[in-house]
Amino acid sequence: MTRKINLLIAFLLAVTLALAAGGVAEAKNVDAQFYVGYDFYSYTTYLSPDYKIVNSKMDVKTFTENGRAYVPVRYLAYGLGVAEKDVNWDEASQTVTLSMEGTTVKLQVGSKTLYINGNPQEMDVTPLMRDDRVFLPARFVAEAFGYEVYYWDNTVSIELKR
């Protein structure tokens, strides 16, 4: 009887370890919503098989200028699912670099040129520096990473969907 129990325990342990060895899926952000003029945003993250909506507070507010919605660089990156280690700021050149899933996007404060994997693309606005914070035009950055961008007048928000 003890031998059967030991075999059963060994079997259950082996099955548990085999399932765990399959790996834990990495959470992926699939959409985000930023509310213009407010200091919070929400994003939906997917960790198979579940979706989870997360609300986060920012230390600054989003705004619009010249018909474009501007979002603080780190929060835009987090909302898109860019890992913190893949968000880089070069103070000397005032250049932001974001990398995710084989795509690298570079923008420079004051420049209308956005680089996607080294290829230049013209924007109609520039990244801005306000109160020592960099704000990016959300549409251009999100589209560079394959997101669709929607502006909702009723909630004064921008939605980024994948």
Q: For 95-115, give the secondary structure using H, E and C.
A: EEEEEECCEEEEEECCCCEEE
Residue among 121, 109, 43 nearest 76 (CA): 43
Instruction: Output the pLDDT for position 41.
Output: 93
Question: Could you give the CA distance from residue 113 to residue 68 in angstroms, rounded to a whole number?
Answer: 15
C-beta of residue 118 within 8 angstroms of C-beta of residue 95: no
Over its length of 162 residues, how does the chain's per-residue pLDDT go in tens digits?
A: 565 444 334 333 343 333 333 333 455 666 899 999 999 999 888 776 788 888 899 999 999 999 999 999 999 999 999 999 999 999 999 999 999 999 999 999 999 999 999 999 999 999 999 999 999 999 999 999 999 999 998 888 999 998
Q: Report the chain's C-alpha Rg in angstroms.
A: 21
Instruction: Output the pLDDT for position 26.
Output: 52
Q: Could you tell me which residues are beta bridge partners of residue 36?
A: 62
Q: Given strand 63-65, what is the order of strands in its sheet? A: 63-65, 68-72, 133-137, 128-130
Instruction: Output the pLDDT for position 145.
Output: 97
Instruction: Output the pLDDT for position 45.
Output: 81
Q: What is the pLDDT of residues 8-52, one digit of tens each?
A: 343 333 433 333 333 334 556 668 999 999 999 998 887 767 888
Check whether domain 25-161 has CATH 3.40.50.1820, yes or no: no
Instruction: Output the pLDDT for position 29.
Output: 60
Pairing of strands 119-122, 128-130: unpaired
Question: Could you give the CA distance from residue 115 to residue 92 in angstroms, rounded to a whole number?
Answer: 18
